[in-house]
Chains A and B, each alone.
Chain A
């Protein structure tokens, strides 16, 4: 796998290295700029900050509005994870164990939430919830986020099942264990990593979701991303830097855990 097998002249190789490193810096640096910004003592977005302080973290943790929005988002993400994971795993199992025209269609339908622009999803669900009285409710946010998270669980579970030998489950069944028990005792433990990865991605997808929440949530049910969006649109409040830094470490932690989990299985 050494680079010697890849066609490139020595000069091209040097230029390629410079380009590659530059693009990686372009990808990563903007995100880590936010962390020093969050320790700035200044109201203005000067970089590097003129003086250091924990002022914006203090602002965040002592603000009832920000704390409420954080609680709403964490609850919504937890509920989304709890609902979307079994729904997605059940569907993945059905799709994997029965290859037919109808399961193919079911798979395509369950993947639709991933393909439709969120602004269109937001408008459609907002219209529906206006009739159902679900706008500005926790139930509404959780339902919408669950729908959006199903494809993530479906994808990770299916990839786990692809690496699993279904004969093991058939063997358990032929020994008289019923289907559900065979799945729970034989299959599930072996694809555990993929299921956990799917659950983590469902959690993050809800925690980060902006556009749909912008339409569906409001007042005391405003999610954290909704409040952040409004704060960024109206005037750039440096508290966002503190929240962003916390979110960066949270999503990195969850993301890495997801990768580690899916590698294990």
Chain B
């Protein structure tokens, strides 16, 4: 009796949230799913087009290339950063951690704008490199895939650092001490003991960066210029330029399936609330 009553109370507490998410997210997604199969009747035309029209294939390929490059950049920058932070004194560790969180809290548009200022033809990066004599001609860093990759790597790096650093902090230092005491060289202890133990965090962080990259819209639109069309822009163009809801829905569904697939894989490495918990 008592548990039945408390069961009802729990339903009431969960109801507002479930109603909001159900009505404003799950319902429209089901609607898009239905639209993606509709073209004057049940049809697969919006999906077959994805394979037949080369511009779609090109866009998907470009998205994977950029997402891959962003993920790789984040791993190459994030892993040494986390490892270095781990050895700092608590005070410096806190300072470094705040430096990671500052971009995390700053508006996406502000960060994209900052890269717009830095990467343009006469921006700080090009003028500095020219003043130093490294370059004679300014590099085309913006309105192409390079600019998009740099901007996105900067924006998404904290998503790699947070789960990776948490995992590294959880590694038992006694294991490292034991391996060293048994005569393991620093290189051996790092590659055979520390690195394998940090892999779950690295994998989760890398997957998170990858999954966020493939759905990105704002940064590629502003830094990529007209020629760098990622999946997100494909969806927006189908609606705003061509009012083609069926096509936009089909692309959305494919994107959604990929994203959910990656999250499913990721949940094997780290619970989702730990991944997002830092925000």
Which A residues lie at the B interface, using CB under 8 A?
1-3, 5-9, 12-13, 16-17, 19-20, 23-24, 26-28, 30-31, 33-34, 37, 44-47, 86-88, 90-91, 93-95, 97-98, 103, 106, 109-121, 123-128, 143-144, 146-147, 150-152, 154-155, 158-159, 179, 201, 204, 207-208, 210-211, 225, 228-229, 232-233, 236, 240-241, 244, 247-248, 251-252, 254-255, 259
- Assuming the contacts A110-B21, A211-B218, asked whether A244 and B187 have C-beta atoms less than 8 A apart, the reply is no
User: B194-224 vs A: 1/0 string, CB under 8 Å?
Assistant: 1000000000000000000011111001100
Q: Mark B263-274, 1 if CB is under 8 A from A, else 0.
A: 100000000110
B13 proximal to A (CB < 8 A): yes
The residues of A that contact B13 with a CB separation of less than 8 Å are 90-91, 93-94
Contacts of B116 in A (CB 8 A): 45, 232, 236
- Complex CA distance for A86 and B14, rounded to whole angstroms: 11
Q: Which residues of B contact A179 (CB under 8 A)?
A: 9
Q: Are A233 and B117 in contact (CB under 8 A)?
A: no
Contacts of B176 in A (CB 8 A): 5-7
Question: Which one of A19, A240, A255 lies within 8 Å of B113 (CB-CB)?
Answer: A240
> In the complex, A39 Cα to B272 Cα: how many Å?
42
Q: In angstroms, how far is the closest chain A Cβ from the Cβ of B236?
A: 6
From B6, B28, B96, B239, contact of A125 by CB (8 A): B28
Report if A47-B105 is in contact (Cβ < 8 Å); known contacts: A119-B215, A124-B31: no
12 sample A-B contacts, Cβ–Cβ < 8 Å, listed by A number:
A17-B84, A24-B99, A24-B100, A26-B154, A46-B122, A106-B18, A109-B26, A126-B239, A207-B107, A232-B116, A248-B110, A251-B107
Nearest A residue (CB) for B221: A233
In the bound complex, CA of A120 to CA of B102 (Å)? 27
* Interchain CB contact (< 8 A) of B10 among A3, A103, A155: A103
Cβ of B164 within 8 Å of any chain A Cβ, yes or no, is no
Chain A residues with CB under 8 Å of B252's CB are 119-120, 123-124
Question: Given that A6-B87, A7-B189, A47-B117 are known contacts, is A144 also in contact with B24, CB under 8 Å in the complex?
Answer: yes
Q: In the assembled complex, which residues on chain A have CB atoms less than 8 Å from the CB atom of B189?
A: 7
- Count of chain B residues with a beta carbon within 8 Å of a chain A beta carbon: 101
8 closest residue pairs by CB, A with B: A117-B215, A3-B87, A124-B28, A20-B84, A255-B105, A7-B189, A94-B13, A7-B186
Digit string of B154-195 for contact with A (CB within 8 Å is 1, else 0)?
Answer: 100110000000000000010011011000101111100110
* Closest chain B CB from A90 CB (angstroms): 4
Whether a CB of chain A sits under 8 angstroms from the CB of B147 is no
B115 touches A128 (CB 8 A): no
CA gap between A240 and B236 in the complex, in Å = 24
In the complex, which residue of chain A has the Cβ closest to the Cβ of B32?
A: A124
Residues on B with C-beta less than 8 A from A33 are 114, 117-118, 124
- Asked if A128 and B20 make an inter-chain contact with CB atoms under 8 angstroms apart, the answer reads no
Question: A123-B248, A124-B31 are known contacts. Are A31 and B222 too (CB-CB below 8 A)?
Answer: no
Provide the main secondary structure of the chain B interface: helix
List, in ascending order, chain B residues with CB within 8 A of A128's CB: 24, 27-28, 31
CA distance A158 to B112 in the complex (A): 32
- Decide if B87 touches A112 in the complex (CB within 8 Å): no
Chain B min CB distance to A241 (Å) = 7
Q: How far is the CB of A201 from chain B (nearest CB, A)?
A: 6
Given contacts A5-B173, A244-B113, whether A255 and B17 have CB atoms under 8 Å apart is no
Q: Closest approach, in angstroms, between the C-beta of B189 and any C-beta of chain A?
A: 4
**What's the Cα separation between A114 and B267 when bound, in Å?**
14
A115 x B81 contact (CB < 8 A): no
**Shortest Cβ distance from residue B201 to the other chain A in the assembled complex, whole angstroms:** 16
Q: Which residue of A26, A45, A117 is within 8 Å of B259 (Cβ)?
A: A117
Contacting pair B107 A19 (CB below 8 A)? no
**B129: CB under 8 A from chain A?**
no
- Nearest-neighbour CB distance to chain A for B10, whole angstroms, equals 4
B256 at the interface (CB under 8 A from A): yes
Query: Assuming A3-B87, A113-B21, A125-B24, what are 4 further A-B pairs, CB within 8 angstroms?
Result: A7-B187, A210-B108, A247-B107, A248-B110
B103 at the interface (CB under 8 A from A): yes
User: A95 CA to B18 CA in the complex, in Å?
Assistant: 12
B41 within 8 A of A: no
